[in-house]
Structure 1
Amino acid sequence: MDITVLSIFPRMFQSLDESLIGKAQEKDLVNIDVVDFRDFTTNKQNHVDDSPYGGGAGMLLQAQPIYDAMDYVEEQKPGKKRVILLDPAGKTFNTNMARDFAKEDQLVFICGHYEGFDERIKDLVTDEVSIGDYILTGGELPTMSMIDATLRFVPGVLGNSVSAEDESFSNGLLEYPQYSRPADFRGKKVPEVLTSGDHEKIRIWRLKQSLRKTLERRPDLLNTVELSNEEKHFLREIKSENSLH
C-alpha cells in the first residue's frame, strides 16, 4: 500500500516511523510519504490561507497549493487514488471504513487547518471523513489515527491475521475481557473457563462477554450489527439475567 499525506506540518508524522507501522515500512508493506503543500504556494509570503469571500471569521485553506500539490503527487505516483479530506462535517470514521481503505493501492490524506477549506478543494476528493463530533487544531492527528486503524487490516502488518478480527468493533461488538499470567494476581483470579482448555466453552464465554459488554456500554451498536441466531439467543439470556437483578 502507498500512502501520501498533504500537510503543512510534516514532522508530526515522524511518529509513524515507530512501533508496528515503522516495522511495516521497513518490510515494504506500506510506503508513507508526507508532502508539505506550503512548498507549492505561489505568493511571496508562502501563505496557504486567505480570508473568505463574503466576509466571516477565520481563514480558509486556498485551493491553489492543494491543487498543485495533488498534481505533483499524481506525477510522482500515477494511478487510481482514494483521496480523503479530513473534515468535521464528513462521515464518521469506523472499523468498516478502515477495512475498506485497506483494500486500496493508494491513499491520499489532505490535512486541513484554520477555519476550513476553499470549497473547490472538495472536487479533488473521494471521501470527506471525520473522527468524531469535536474540533481539533488540524487534520494531522485524525490522519494518523486513520492510517493506524487502516494498516491493521493490511496483511502482514500485525503479524497475526487473527488479531484485527478479534478486536472491538471488528464484528460490530465490543471485545471480551482478556487475561494473561499469572492466573492468580493478588487474589484476583482468571475465570476458570479460560484455563480449562475447552475451546468451545471458551468461545461461548467470550461471545457472551462481548455481548454483555456491548449491551452495558454501547447498546446503540446492537441496533446496527446483524446478529447470528446464536448471538440473539445469548443476548436474550443476558437481558433476562439483568432483569432479575
Structure 2
Amino acid sequence: MSTFQALVIGASSAIAQAIIEKLQQDADCSAITAVSRANIRLPNNDKVISVTCDYQQDSIAELCQTLQASQGMIHKVFICNGLLHNDNMQPERKIESVNAAQLAASFQANSITPMLWLKYLLPVLKGTSATQVAIFSARVGSISDNKMGGWYSYRASKAALNMLIQTSAIEYARRAKNVKLIAFHPGTTDTPLSQPFQRSVPEGKLFTPHFVAQQLLDLMKQIPMDNQASYRDWNHQEIDW
C-alpha cells in the first residue's frame, strides 16, 4: 500500500493506544488522527493529531465534515468505541438484572455511536484506493455462537452492531466500492474493560493490547477486498454471524 493516513476513534482505549504506537512506526503511514472524548497523552510525534469529540451525532457529523479535506487519503480506520461496564452497571448474569437504562447505555456506546461514524465517514472514505474500516465487535455478539446466555445488553448491542455493519457493507459496496468493513473480536485483552473478568480466562488467552493491535494490523494486510463485511477474531478466524 502506498502512503496513507489513519483514523483512530476511541483513541483513549488501551488497544487504540497500541494501534497508534504501531502506526507511528509504519513508514507508509503519514498521519494519524486520534479521536477521543478528552485530550489524551500521546507520544511526541508529528504524525499524530489529537481531536476531541463527545460522540454525539452533531459532533460526529461536524468532525467528519472537517475530515473531508482528507478525502481519498484515509485508508485505515479503527472504530474502538465500546462499553461493557462502568461504576453504575455490570453485565447481567440473570434476566432479573436487565433494566432499560443499561440497555440504552450499551446500545448507545456499542451500536449507535459506531453506526454514526459509518454514516458520516462514507463520503470521506470513498475513492479509488483500498480502504479498510475495523469496527471493534465481540464474539458474544454472534447469535449462533451464544450457548451460555447472560450479558444481555452487551450481547444484544454487539449483535445489533454486527447487523449494522452487514447492512452498511451492502450500501458501501454500491457507493464506496474501495471500502472493506471488518467486525473485529480482539479476544480478552488486559485492559480496564476486561479487568473484572480476567480470573476465569484460560492460561495464554489474556492478550496484551500490543499483541491485539499487531494481530489486527496483520489481518488488514491480508484480508480480501471483496466488498463484503467480515467478522474475524484476533487469530484471523471467521466467526459465524
The two structures have a TM-score, normalised by structure 2, of 0.32
The two structures have a TM-score, normalised by structure 1, of 0.31
